[in-house]
Amino acid sequence: MTPLLDKFRQLADARDALMQLSQDPFRVTIERILSPTEARVNGRPMILAGTNNYLGLTFDPQCIEAAVQAVQEQGTGTTGSRMANGSFSGHLALEQELAEFFGRRWSNVFSTGYQANLGIIAALTGQGDVILIDADCHASIYDGCRMSGAEVIRFRHNDVADLYKRLRRLGKRCANTLIIVEGLYSMLGDRAALAEIAAAKRAYGAYLLVDEAHSLGVLGERGRGLSEEVGVEDSIDFIVGTFSKSLGATGGFCVSDHPEVDLARYVSRPYIFTASPCPSVIASTRVALRKLRTEPALRVRLWDNARRLYDELKGLGFRLGPDPGPIIAARFGQKEETIAFWNGLLQQGVYVNMILPPAAPDGGSLLRCSVSAAHTPDQIDRICGAFRSVKAALEV
């Protein structure tokens, strides 16, 4: 390798070491999707238990019909950004529908959830400002902070006392401070201490952004996320989310009562310089949002499945996150044990997410299940049975 590429040598060695123990997770090939919860993977039938398809809407007939009609009428893509090529009517309609759903005045749609965080954080903050982020925030939040040029201060995960301490130290700078947390954290499925964090924000006059990517459609009476569930929506300045979880598509958004969110279009590089979402994606997302609003039975089925899987795995002795939810993570101490277990589950016909250091919290490893409203009781039984079988085989 040349000096420029020397940095990849260690990565290549790590990949080779992984492949001595396992398949390369990046080369697991989903050959055919059969349903929201089933596929053919590497030549074998597989239950999908790691897709974030929380409401199971990826195969909803009405969502598909809307996407097909949009492709036929408007083509396969926009071929440019909204700043350069203009907004399609669907972009504007979806923004209005999102604003109405969240009870906010302003909404901005991005091409991905990742770009929503990049675009909004970097537009809202800059040199002279401060961003206080929970240490376990998503990579897109960290990257948005780096783009912003603001001073970035981490507080310990869900440690409200640590947040208060850092706000006290900032003093008058709190007026230029943006606190960022997530509703549900994607690794362990634990919830932000949002009521206490919102109280800290109010006490010190800071601003608060909540990423509801994994809690949209999951938490709250109307599915608006953790801020709705704990009754602090009035204290949240900015809500960011994605279409790639409960809404079964791709894209992202930010809603707010601050008109600056609308002005952010003019300074947000990920918004200005990225092709806008495809018409088919916008069309299916609009239908999915309507279903989220009008079909609460989807959320009921999701939670029935989540509680059942959580209770079964906990009963088998797995070390899980603190509460049942759509994300259920079994924690392991050793990387090798995690890899062996993941391979065993694949052999049993169950696909879950394998998270290895440094991505997993606390330097450990975990196997992350995401539960769907589309999972049948039989599929939940089979997932539990696969965990039971692999555990017994590895303990011999």
Q: What is the DSSP string of 54-110?
A: TT-GGG-HHHHHHHHHHHHHH-S---S-HHHH---HHHHHHHHHHHHHHT-SEEEEE
* Cβ contact 49:328 at 8 Å: no
Length of the chain: 396
Q: Tell which phi-psi region holds residue 381, choosing left (phi > 0), alpha (psi between -120 and 50) or beta.
A: alpha
> What are the backbone dihedrals phi and psi of residue 382, each rounded to the nearest 5 degrees, phi first?
-70, -35
Q: Which of 365, 376, 1, 9 is nearest to 187 (CA)?
A: 365
| C-alpha triplet 352, 277, 268: angle, nearest 5° | 100
| Predicted pLDDT of residue 396 | 57
Other C-beta atoms within 10 Å of 234: how many?
10
Q: Which of 245, 353, 239, 380 is nearest to 299 (CA)?
A: 245
Q: Which residue has the tokens 């019909």?
A: 65
Q: Per-residue pLDDT for the chain (396 aa), expressed as one digit of tens each?
A: 468 888 888 877 777 776 666 566 666 789 999 999 999 998 899 999 999 999 999 999 999 999 999 999 999 999 999 999 999 999 999 999 999 999 999 999 999 999 999 999 999 999 999 999 999 999 999 999 999 999 999 999 999 999 999 999 999 999 999 999 999 999 999 999 999 999 999 999 999 999 999 999 999 999 999 999 999 999 999 999 999 999 999 999 999 999 999 999 999 999 999 999 999 999 999 999 999 999 999 999 999 999 999 999 999 999 999 999 999 999 998 888 999 999 999 999 999 999 988 878 877 899 999 999 999 999 999 999 999 999 999 985
Distance CA 286, CA 296 (A): 16
Distance CA 329, CA 333 (A): 13
* Cβ contact 94:287 at 8 Å: no
Distance CA 339, CA 30 (A): 19
Domains belonging to the chain, first-starting first, are 3-58+296-395 (3.90.1150.10), 78-277 (3.40.640.10)
Single-letter amino acid code for the residue at 71:
V
* Cβ contact 351:44 at 8 Å: no
Other C-beta atoms within 10 Å of 255: how many?
25
Please give the helix or strand (H or E) that residue 195 lies within, else none: helix 194-204
Distance CA 260, CA 263 (A): 5
| Predicted pLDDT of residue 26 | 61
Single-letter amino acid code for the residue at 84:
A
Q: Which of 283, 154, 291 is nearest to 216 (CA)?
A: 291
